[in-house]
C-alpha cells in the first residue's frame, strides 16, 4: 500500500526539473499542482521565476496543465495571465481529473509527469493513475487547514517509507 505514496523522483523545486531531461525520457507534458508547488498557497500571482520556468517549459515544446484542488477563482486568476490550461476542484487523489488532464492534452500516461508537493494528493493520485510522479519540497512553511492534516499524515508515511528502506533521498 505504501508504494502508492512513493514518488518516482524527488527534487528541491520545479526549477530542478529539466525540460531536456524530460524530453529524453519521452515526456511530452507536465501536470502540476499549484499551491505550495509553484507558489505559496496564499500568493495570487506567479513569481517572475515561475513565469520564466513556464516560458522555458513551453518553449521546449512541453505542454503544461495545472491540476488543483483549489477553487475556480483562485486557479483561474493564476493561470489566465500565463495562458495555462487548468482543472480546479480536482478532488485529488481521485483519478478522474488526472485522466481528464491526459485527455485534454491528448497524451498517454507514459508521456506525462505529475509534479506536486503532497504525498496524500499529488503523488498518490499520480501513482494511482499510472503517471510518473515528481515530489517537490513545499515552497511555503505554512499551509491551509486541510493541508496541515495531510502534512501530519505525510510525516508518518515518510517515516514508514524510510524505515522500510524505500526512500532513496535525504530530506
Q: What is the pLDDT along the chain (171 residues), one digit of tens a residue?
A: 678 999 999 999 999 999 999 999 999 999 999 999 999 988 889 999 999 999 999 999 999 999 999 999 999 999 998 999 999 999 999 999 999 999 999 999 999 999 999 999 999 999 999 999 999 999 987 666 667 777 788 888 888 888 888 776 655
Q: What is the pLDDT of residue 116?
A: 98
Q: What is the pLDDT of residue 68?
A: 98
pTM of the entire structure? 0.90
Please say whether the beta carbons of 138 and 102 come within 8 A: no
Q: What is the pLDDT of residue 22?
A: 97
Please say whether the beta carbons of 63 and 94 come within 8 A: no
Cis check for the bond before 93: say yes or no (omega within 30 of 0): yes
DSSP 46-62: --HHHHHHHHHHHHTT-
Distances (CA, A) of 74 to 45, 80, 139, 142: 9, 10, 17, 18
The CATH code for residues 2-163 is: 3.40.50.1000
Cβ-proximal residues to 11 (8 Å cutoff; 6+ apart), any chain = 17, 134, 135, 136, 137
Q: What is the pLDDT of residue 162?
A: 82
Q: Domain residue spans in the chain? A: 2-163
pLDDT (tens digit per residue) in 55-96: 999 999 999 999 999 999 999 999 998 999 999 999 999 999
Amino acid at each position: 500500500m505504501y508504494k502508492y505514496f512513493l514518488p518516482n523522483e524527488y527534487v528541491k523545486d520545479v526549477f530542478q526539473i529539466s525540460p531536456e531531461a524530460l524530453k529524453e525520457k519521452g515526456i511530452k507534458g507536465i501536470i502540476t499542482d499549484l499551491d505550495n508547488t509553484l507558489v505559496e498557497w496564499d500568493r495570487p500571482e506567479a513569481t517572475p521565476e515561475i513565469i520564466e520556468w513556464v516560458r522555458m517549459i513551453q518553449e521546449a515544446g512541453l505542454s503544461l496543465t495545472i491540476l488543483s484542488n483549489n477553487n475556480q477563482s483562485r486557479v483561474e486568476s493564476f493561470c489566465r495571465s500565463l495562458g495555462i490550461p487548468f482543472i480546479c476542484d480536482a478532488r485529488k487523489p481521485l483519478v478522474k481529473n488526472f485522466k481528464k488532464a491526459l485527455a485534454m492534452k491528448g497524451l498517454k500516461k507514459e508521456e506525462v509527469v505529475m509534479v506536486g508537493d503532497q504525498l496524500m494528493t499529488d503523488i498518490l493520485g499520480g501513482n494511482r493513475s499510472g503517471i510518473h510522479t515528481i515530489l517537490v519540497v513545499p515552497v511555503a512553511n505554512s499551509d491551509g487547514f486541510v493541508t496541515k492534516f495531510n502534512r501530519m499524515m505525510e510525516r508518518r508515511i515518510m517515516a514508514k517509507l524510510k524505515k522500510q528502506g524505500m526512500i532513496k533521498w535525504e530530506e
